[in-house]
Structure 1
């Protein structure tokens, strides 16, 4: 495992919800920043969704991260609060994962990483993917928001006049990077020419 005290570690978790392209783009951007270490966890359904939506093998994702762990690896350093990663993001985040995190059901490494963020008061960002939302989804997300979790559905903005799907993806990933305190130029800022 790569580690250094002067580098920020961000844990990127991918569930089986639609939207693996957001995770790929995020990992590509984070890889450009030498001050960041990325640790990656992909669920079994996440692996399946990556192959289905992007027509690529999981090894392509693993190459974008500094470290990667299997979803059932509870011996991974990121499973412990004593391991000082800075923040975690679940991108995309299924409602099943939202429910697990909201109810303390850490049955895989993704939910455990989120549990560590909650108990250690670290930044946790969930890129939630579902529509429409039912009352249970909303209650779970409200519960997490009250605990300080950032709930961030990948909603496009049209004031930047996107021309391609890539423009829409870049906008969302830029806003995610802002939330993670990572400098980027992906977002056309309101009021900028």
Structure 2
């Protein structure tokens, strides 16, 4: 199995709930263990942008997402915002990689300053301090100087900033194709197999004459 077996997936209150849900589905399909975190704002965005009505309580949300994705029992673990005893809160128990998608600029700022006011921020802080893989997927336009400074700071710390900016060279036909573009890029960074988007040059035939 290539890529991390255990991954922390956090969803915060930026637009783009579809990206997080699609990534969760792909991780389940690839038989990864997912430690799932979601902010209250992200739950509101999800209800606005999709037909998914995620229960507020962690245990109920875990049951819902397990059924929604067809995950095996225990494959998805959902934690509350102040569950400080969860594995993601400590370097000795946290997964090898964490993805925040979508990542609000407020969460971006909190991670950049080490705020740790909730479990999402703490989990990201742990990922940074343990020098593990942290992928942040902001969805905002335009970016302010503050946003850009925070992104630079986090990039210098080792985080990967992957804006939710789908490309068009694969000639997308649907919104799902655009979502898959971003999710495929995340999976590539995690070194997890995906068949949604060919890697650049994968099917290229020819060469210099």
| TM-score using structure 2 length | 0.85
> Which residue number corresponds to residue 121 of structure 1?
131
Residue 26 (structure 1) aligned with residue 23 (structure 2): yes
User: Where does the alignment leave 5 or more consecutive residues of structure 2 unmatched?
Assistant: 55-60, 70-74, 204-209
Distance 1:152 1:176 in 2: 8
Native 8 Å contact 1:40 1:62 kept in 2: no
> Which residue number corresponds to residue 68 of structure 1?
78
Deviation, 1:29, is: 0.6
Residue 8 (structure 1) aligned with residue 5 (structure 2): yes
Runs of 4 or more off by more than 6 Å in structure 1? Answer: none
Report how many residues are paired. Answer: 186
> Which residue number corresponds to residue 50 of structure 1?
46
Distance 2:41 2:25 in 1: 21
> Which residue number corresponds to residue 39 of structure 1?
35
> Which residue number corresponds to residue 87 of structure 2?
77
| TM-score using structure 1 length | 0.92
Native 8 Å contact 2:39 2:81 kept in 1: yes
Native 8 Å contact 1:117 1:124 kept in 2: yes
Across the aligned residues of Structure 1 and Structure 2, the Cα RMSD in angstroms comes to 1.4
> Which residue number corresponds to residue 157 of structure 1?
167
Deviation, 1:61, is: 3.6
Structure number, greater radius of gyration: 2
Deviation, 1:153, is: 0.5
Distance 2:53 2:187 in 1: 25
Deviation, 1:48, is: 1.2
Deviation, 1:188, is: 2.5
Deviation, 1:56, is: 1.5
Native 8 Å contact 2:111 2:125 kept in 1: yes
Write out per-residue CA displacement over residues 10-62 of structure 1, whole angstroms, 9 at most, x where no aligned residue. 0000001110000010011111112x210100011111111111122114446
Native 8 Å contact 2:181 2:197 kept in 1: yes
User: Where does the alignment leave 5 or more consecutive residues of structure 1 unmatched?
Assistant: 1-6
Distance 2:199 2:135 in 1: 21
